[in-house]
Structure 1
Amino acid sequence: MTDREPAHFATPAEVTDIVTGLVLVHRAGLRWKLAFGAAALLTALLVVAIVVLLVRGVGIWGVSMPVAWGFAIANYVWWIGIGMAGTFISAALYLTRQGWRSALNRFAEAMTVFALAVSSLFPIFHLGRPWFSYWLAPYPDRMGLWPQWRSALVWDFFAIGAYVIVSVIYFYVGLIPDLAAVRDRASSRGQQVFYGLLAIGWRGEARQWERHATLVKILAGLAVPLVFSVHSMVALDFSEGLLPGWHSTIFPPFFVAGALFSGAAMVIVLAVPLRKAYALEEFITDEHLDKLAKMMLAVGWVVTYGYAAEIFTAYVGGDPYDTALQRHRMQGAYAWLFWATIACNSLSIQALWWPRVRTSPLALVVIALLVLTGMWMERFMLIVTSLYRDFLPSSWGMFHPTVWDGAFLLGSIGLFALLFLIFVRLVPVLSIAELRRHAAERVDTRP
C-alpha cells in the first residue's frame, strides 16, 4: 500500500489514471504485506482445522447434547449476514439513484461475494459427513435419495445458491468496463492478456453501454428482494424449531435487520482503512462515512426493537418456557453474553447521534467493530441459550467451546481478509465508470 498524500482530481481522465494506477503502478507496501501474511496464517489455521475435522469428525467441536449447534452455525449466520449489506448498498442505492454509492459499491459487492464464500463452508462441514453435502441438491438418481423438502437445509441451498449466482454476476458485470480501462493502460503483455480476457471484448461502444445499463438494472432488481428472502430463509432455520426463543414470527424481519446492521458495520471497517491506505479521501469522503453511520444507527434501532419485542411478547404471552428462557438469558449462566450483546449492539451506536462521531474515522471503526462483535455474540446467544436449558431439567447441559471452534472462527476471518487483500491488488477498488460520470458532472457545473 502507499502512503502518498491525498490529491484532488476533477476530470474523468484523472479519475481513471488514479484508480487504475492503484492496480498497475503502486506496489504492495509493508502494511499490505504484513496484513497479507497475518491473513495467510489464519487461513492456514482454517485449512488445518478442516483437515482435522474431516479426519476426526465434528466431535472436535464443543457440540454435544443438548447443544448440538454451536460456533459453526453462529459463524454461518454471522457471515451470511455480513454479505447482505454489500448487495443492498449497491443495488438498492442504484435503483433509488443515490449518487453516493459510486464510491462504495465496488468493495461492498466484493465483500458480499467473499462473505458468502466463507459462510457456505460452515453448513457443509456441520453436516458431519460433508462429502455427502450434494444430497441437499435435487439431483436425479436411482436410489431415491431425494432431499427432504421440509428441511430448512434444502431451503438454504436454494436461497443461498440463487443469491450467490446473482451477486457474483452483478459484481462481475459492474467490473467489465473498469477491467477494460485497466487493460488499455497495462504496460506488460501479461497484464494486457489477463485483463483483456476478463474484459471479454469491451470497447465502450454506445450499444454496449446501453445493454450494460439494462443488465445492471435487472440484476439490481433481482438482488434487492434476494437480500430479504435469503436471510428470512436463514431465520426460518430457527423459527421452524419448536423451542423457546426460536419459534417466533419476528425472526425473519429481525434477522434481515441484523444482517444489514452487521453488513453496514463491515463496510465501514473496510472503507476507513482503504481510504487511508490509498489516500482516497477525495472519493470516500466524510459524507460517505456520515451516511453509512446513519444507516447503521437506523438499522441498529430496528435490531434493538427486536430485542425489546422478544422480551415483551414472552412475558405478555404467558408461556412459562418463554419467560423462563428470558430469565435465563438475563440472569443465568450466559447472562454476560446477553448484556454484552446489548452493550455492543444497542448502546454503542447511540454515540452516532453526534455528527462529530459520524465523521470521525477512528470512532466509526471502533463502533463498527463493537457491532460486529455484538452481532456474532447475538447469533451465538440465540443458539446456545435455547438449547442448553431444554423443557426437561434432565436434558440440561452447558456448551464448552474447544480450540477448534476458535480456529474455525479466526480462520474464517483470515480467509475473508485474504480474499479482500488479493482483490484490492488485482481489481479497481472503486467504480471507474461511475466516478468518471460524477467527475464529468462536476466539471460541467463549474462556473
Structure 2
Amino acid sequence: MSAAAITDEIAGIALRRHGGRGWWILFAMSLALTVMLAGGIVVLLVRGVGIWGIDMPVAWSFAITNYVWWIGIGMAGTFISAALHLTRQGWRSALSRHAEAMTLCALAVSGLFPVLHLGRPWFAYWIMPYPDKMGLWPQWRSALTWDFFAIGTYVVVSALYFYVGQLPDLAAVRDRATTRGRQVFYALLALGWRGEAADWRRHATLTRLLAALAVPLVFSVHSMVALDFSEGLLPGWHSTIFPPFFVAGALFSGIAMVILLSLAMRRAYGLGRYITDVHLDKLAKLMLAAGCVVTYGYAAEVFTAYYGGDPFETAVIAHRLHGAYAWTFWSTVALNSVAIQALWWPAARRNRLVLVLVSAGVLAGMWLERFMLIVTSLYRDYLPSSWGMFYPTLWDIVFLLGSIGLFGLLFLLFVRWLPVLAIAELRRTEALR
C-alpha cells in the first residue's frame, strides 16, 4: 500500500461521523457498567467498606484483587511498545498504539481501588510526601508509600510516551479533517506539528528517552506491588520470589489483553493487512514464555514451602491445595499453566478462536490467582478462633464488573477519537519493504 492509502485508512477510522452499530452497542454496555460502578462508589462512600464481603480475618479481597489485576494488565502495553522500540522491531508498529492506550486505561481503573479500599478515601493524600506544620510525614518503610512513587512515575512516563508517539499521527488526522471543529480539535492535540526534519529528529530523541525510562519502570512498579505482600510476615506472602513472579504475571495477563484487543480491532475495522497472523503468532509466543515463568513460580512456591519445613508455610500451601479455596488454585493452574501449552503448536498460535479462548482464560486465571494469593493467606490464622471464610456480596460483583465497564468505556473513546494504529511507523515500515 502507498503511504497516502495507509494514512487515509487509519485516519478515516477516527474521522467517521458515526462509530458504527457495534461500537455503539459496546459503548452502551460499557457506559451502563460504568454508571453501575459510579453508583457503587456513592453507596461505598455513604455506608463504608462494610458493603463488601471483607471481614476479619479476610480484610483484603476483591478490591485489592482488582487493583493488582488491572495494574498488571497495564504493565504489558507500554513494555511491548517500549522494549520493541528500543530493540528496533518493525512489527511493533501494528500493536504499539492500542497497547499503550490499554496501559493508560488499565492504570486509570486500577488507581480507584486502593483509594476506595481505605474506607476514608478523602485521606488518600496522606501517602503523598507533602510538608506540613504538624511534621506528619508518610511512613517511608511502607510499601504503600513506595507504590505512590512507582505508580505515579509510571503513569506520567506512560502518558508522555503515548502522547509523544501520537503527534505525527494527530497531525495527519488534522490535515484530513473536513469540519472546522475537528480541525481545531486535532490541531490543538498535534501541538503545531509540521513534519520538518527538526521535528522528526527531536521526536525520535524524546521517544527513545521515554522508552528507555518506561522499560525499567515496568519492572519496578509491579515489584513494588509485590512488596505490598512480601513485606508482610504472613505465611504465603513473605516470599522473595514475589517481585519477579508478579512482574511475569503482569506481562502474562497484559499480553493476553493485547491479543484480545488486537483481534477485536482487526475484526471490527478490517485491519487484517496490518495486524497479521505473524503479529498474533509473536504475541502468542510472548504469552507462552511469560506463562512458563508464571508456572515456574507456582512450582517454586510449593517446593520451597515443603523443602524449608516451616509448619506455617506448609499449612498455607496445604490449604491452597486441599482447603476451602482449593478450587481457585486448581482453576488457576488449569487456565494459566495447562491451557497455554496449546500455544507450542504454530497452528494454534494462528487460530483466532484458540487465541481468544486461551487469552480470555489467562485473564480469568490471573484474577483467580490474585484472589487465591490474598484469601488463602488470610482465612486461616494461627488460632482456630481467628478462622473465617470470605463470601462476596453483590457489591463486590458490582465493582468488578463496573471496573471492566470503565476500562471498556475508556478504550472505546480512544478508538473513536484517536488513530488506533501508529500511522507514521506503518508508513516507515511499508517504505522499507
Same fold per TM (> 0.5)? yes
- SS of 1:406's partner is helix
Structure 2 residue identity aligned to 1:321:
F
Which of 330, 334, 342 matches 1:339?
A: 330
When structure 1 is superposed on structure 2, of 282-291 and 358-367 the one drifting more is 358-367
Deviation at 1:23, TM superposition (A): 1.1
Residue 163 (1) aligns with residue 154 (2): yes
Deviation at 1:119, TM superposition (A): 0.3
State how far apart, in whole Å, the 2-side matches of 1:124 and 1:245 are. Answer: 25
- SS of 1:387's partner is coil
Aligned length, in residue pairs: 433
Which of 295, 307, 320 matches 1:304?
A: 295
Q: Which residue of the partner structure matches residue 43 of structure 2? A: 52
Q: Which residue of the partner structure matches residue 246 of structure 1? A: 237
Structure 1 residue identity aligned to 2:213:
L
Q: Which residue of the partner structure matches residue 96 of structure 1? A: 87
Matches for 1:88-167 after TM superposition, within 5 Å: 88-167=79-158
Residue 275 (1) aligns with residue 263 (2): no
Residue 11 (1) aligns with residue 2 (2): yes
Runs of 4+ in 1 over 2 A off after TM superposition: none
State how far apart, in whole Å, the 2-side matches of 1:23 and 1:109 are. Answer: 17
Structure 1 residue identity aligned to 2:333:
I
Deviation at 1:145, TM superposition (A): 2.3
Structure 2 residue identity aligned to 1:384:
V
Matches for 1:185-196 after TM superposition, within 5 Å: 185-196=176-187
- SS of 1:430's partner is coil
TM-score (norm 1): 0.96
User: What whole-Å deviation, never above 9, does each CA across 1:347-378 have from its counterpart, x for those lacking one?
Assistant: 11011111111011111011000000000000
User: What whole-Å deviation, never above 9, does each CA across 1:248-276 have from its counterpart, x for those lacking one?
Assistant: 00000000000000000000110001001
Q: Which residue of the partner structure matches residue 415 of structure 2? A: 424
Matches for 1:194-205 after TM superposition, within 5 Å: 194-205=185-196
Which of 189, 198, 215 matches 2:206?
A: 215
Stretches of structure 1 lacking an aligned partner (at least 5 in a row): 1-9, 443-447
State how far apart, in whole Å, the 1-side matches of 2:126 and 2:152 are. Answer: 14
State how far apart, in whole Å, the 2-side matches of 1:298 and 1:122 are. Answer: 30
Which of 33, 37, 40 matches 2:24?
A: 33
**RMSD, aligned α-carbons:** 0.7
- SS of 2:148's partner is helix
Which of 226, 241, 247 matches 1:235?
A: 226
State how far apart, in whole Å, the 2-side matches of 1:48 and 1:164 are. Answer: 26
Structure 1 residue identity aligned to 2:39:
V
Deviation at 1:26, TM superposition (A): 6.1
Structure 1 residue identity aligned to 2:26:
A
Structure 1 residue identity aligned to 2:272:
E
State how far apart, in whole Å, the 2-side matches of 1:439 and 1:25 are. Answer: 25
Structure 2 residue identity aligned to 1:176:
L
Structure 2 residue identity aligned to 1:374:
G
Deviation at 1:133, TM superposition (A): 0.4
- SS of 2:377's partner is helix
Residue 258 (1) aligns with residue 249 (2): yes
Structure 2 residue identity aligned to 1:323:
T
Q: Which residue of the partner structure matches residue 388 of structure 1? A: 379
Residue 329 (1) aligns with residue 325 (2): no
State how far apart, in whole Å, the 1-side matches of 2:33 and 2:216 are. Answer: 34
Structure 2 residue identity aligned to 1:19:
I
State how far apart, in whole Å, the 1-side matches of 2:153 and 2:209 are. Answer: 15
TM-score (norm 2): 0.99
When structure 1 is superposed on structure 2, of 398-407 and 219-228 the one drifting more is 398-407
Q: Which residue of the partner structure matches residue 278 of structure 2? A: 287
Q: Which residue of the partner structure matches residue 71 of structure 2? A: 80
Stretches of structure 2 lacking an aligned partner (at least 5 in a row): none
User: What whole-Å deviation, never above 9, does each CA across 1:411-436 have from its counterpart, x for those lacking one?
Assistant: 00000000001110100000000000
State how far apart, in whole Å, the 2-side matches of 1:350 and 1:240 are. Answer: 33
Residue 441 (1) aligns with residue 432 (2): yes
User: What whole-Å deviation, never above 9, does each CA across 1:71-95 have from its counterpart, x for those lacking one?
Assistant: 0000000000000000110000000
Which of 389, 393, 400 matches 2:391?
A: 400
State how far apart, in whole Å, the 2-side matches of 1:151 and 1:103 are. Answer: 40
State how far apart, in whole Å, the 2-side matches of 1:138 and 1:399 are. Answer: 35
Deviation at 1:186, TM superposition (A): 0.4
Q: Equivalent pairs: percent with the same residue?
A: 72
- SS of 1:386's partner is coil
When structure 1 is superposed on structure 2, of 148-157 and 256-265 the one drifting more is 148-157
When structure 1 is superposed on structure 2, of 194-203 and 354-363 the one drifting more is 354-363
State how far apart, in whole Å, the 2-side matches of 1:52 and 1:151 are. Answer: 29
State how far apart, in whole Å, the 2-side matches of 1:436 and 1:334 are. Answer: 52
Matches for 1:312-327 after TM superposition, within 5 Å: 312-327=303-318
State how far apart, in whole Å, the 2-side matches of 1:23 and 1:164 are. Answer: 25
State how far apart, in whole Å, the 2-side matches of 1:144 and 1:70 are. Answer: 33
Residue 172 (1) aligns with residue 163 (2): yes
State how far apart, in whole Å, the 1-side matches of 2:136 and 2:39 are. Answer: 32
Deviation at 1:210, TM superposition (A): 0.2
Structure 2 residue identity aligned to 1:149:
W
- SS of 1:67's partner is coil
State how far apart, in whole Å, the 2-side matches of 1:136 and 1:25 are. Answer: 44
State how far apart, in whole Å, the 1-side matches of 2:2 and 2:16 are. Answer: 20
State how far apart, in whole Å, the 2-side matches of 1:434 and 1:201 are. Answer: 19
Deviation at 1:143, TM superposition (A): 2.1
